[in-house]
Amino acid sequence: MASVSFNNATRLYPGADRPSVDALNLDIADGEFLVLVGPSGCGKSTTLRMLAGLEEVSDGSIHIGDRDITNLPPKERDIAMVFQNYALYPHMSVRDNMGFALKIAGMDKAEINQHVEAAALSLGLTDYLDRKPKALSGGQRQRVAMGRAIVRRPQVFLMDEPLSNLDAKLRVQTRTQVSQLQRELGVTTLYVTHDQTEALTMGDRIAVLKDGVLQQVATPQEMFDRPVNTFVAGFIGSPAMNLGTFTLTGDGFATLGEARVRVSREAQAAVTPEDNGQIVVGFRPEGLDIFSAQEPGEDTIPVRIEMVEELGSDAYMYGSLVGGGDLASGTDSNPDNVDIGQVIIRTFPRTAPPVGTVLHVRIREGQQHNFSAATGKRLPN
């Protein structure tokens, strides 16, 4: 096994005005499962393909262990890749698909069967080894694709959105199997996805990309608790964090419409003239206490409920601010926009009031996130 290092790795396509991947510096430890996540077009698949040798590195370098593999052809990099579309040979059995790379490498047939059967046992494919891909479900085909990578025993696994073609229930089941299998094998893995739920549940660490630029690398818990900027705050979490641009009042509070929240001295001191007296305040749907309209208090956010989603274990209330002003929930397509106009509140199932009710919510202690209005960077809580 081996570590992976990107050193100012850049990919600029001919005719493009900006790099698809811009001076990426990223270290993946030996045996680590790192998830690369971001919205469509952020450069995550390009990063994976650069490591695989399928895309040229315009500048910088990439190392696997002590080897500089920047200019090596793919076959000399000792990597195995799992694609979104399975890429199985339809005329071959599962056994032959899984063992094909070993056959090409000239391995003895008995030894190939030994490797294939061991991988099939770990993936629950033993009963399907003599079937063709067309006789398998989507989840089984994806496991065959993984088995084909496993039998090679590479230094690095590369996975490019391997669960995207599966239905929701099977995706949850398969991502658990992938995580467990990677930990058993201990192979360094770079996993690309646009699904931040996959990122939070699967990775030892998460790396977030935006427009080809690395935004943050951290453990899932650290990234959830302390996003470094409004982009990460709006992207990580489901539902995403509520964000709003508030105006500082000079008395320890900030306002937006009739909403009024406390701002710590440390956060106020970190505000610069470029912020123009404003601060972006974020809070997650589950980080709120709910009060009735009769007892709002002096530091609450009034929300008129417009829609309720009952999910069985939870309920989510969607509403707008009373008195004007917009809050925003980050989205995949526009994760750092703070003026979409909706706030999301998480509550217990079957406890939400009727649509049209005005609730007052207060951010719980330690659940408020402050960001610069000018730069989007995190400020002290």
SS (H, E, C) 10-64: EECCCCCCCCCEEEEEEEECCCCEEEEECCCCCCHHHHHHHHHCCCCCCEEEEEE
Give the span between the Cα atoms of 367 and 237, in whole angstroms: 14
Domains of the chain: 4-232 (3.40.50.300), 239-379 (2.40.50.140)
pLDDT 10s digits, 77-132: 999 888 877 788 999 999 999 999 899 888 999 999 999 998 888 888 999 999 99
Q: Is the pLDDT of residue 335 over 50?
A: no
pLDDT 10s digits, 132-159: 999 998 888 888 988 888 888 889 999 9
Position 332 confidence tier, pLDDT thresholds 50, 70, 90: very low
Q: Is the pLDDT of residue 237 over 80?
A: yes
Cis peptide before 296 (omega within 30 of 0): no
The pTM is what? 0.87
List the structure tokens of 8. Answer: 């100012």
Q: Is the pLDDT of residue 26 over 90?
A: yes
Give the span between the Cα atoms of 337 and 327, in whole angstroms: 10
Tell me the percentage of the chain whose pLDDT exceeds 70.
Answer: 93
pLDDT 10s digits, 247-289: 999 889 999 988 999 999 999 999 999 999 999 999 999 999 9
pLDDT the model gives residue 339: 42
Q: Is the pLDDT of residue 232 over 80?
A: yes
pLDDT 10s digits, 360-375: 999 999 999 999 999 9
pLDDT the model gives residue 240: 86
Hey, which residues does 7 pair with through a beta bridge? 61
pLDDT the model gives residue 328: 59
pLDDT 10s digits, 174-226: 788 788 888 888 899 999 998 888 899 999 999 999 999 999 999 999 999 99
pLDDT the model gives residue 183: 87
Give the span between the Cα atoms of 237 and 283, in whole angstroms: 11
pLDDT the model gives residue 205: 97
39, 332 contact by CB (below 8 A) = yes
pLDDT the model gives residue 141: 87
Region 289-298 average pLDDT: 71
Average pLDDT, the chain: 89
Position 1 confidence tier, pLDDT thresholds 50, 70, 90: low
CA atoms within 13 A on the CB side of 141: 21
The helix or strand, by DSSP H or E, that contains position 231, with its residue range, turns out to be helix 230-235
Position 338 confidence tier, pLDDT thresholds 50, 70, 90: very low
| 3-state SS, residue 367 | coil
132, 95 contact by CB (below 8 A) = no
143, 148, 154, 159: CA torsion to nearest 10: -50
Look up tokens 């008195």; give the residue.
323
212, 23 contact by CB (below 8 A) = no
pLDDT the model gives residue 257: 87
Position 296 confidence tier, pLDDT thresholds 50, 70, 90: low
pLDDT the model gives residue 104: 87
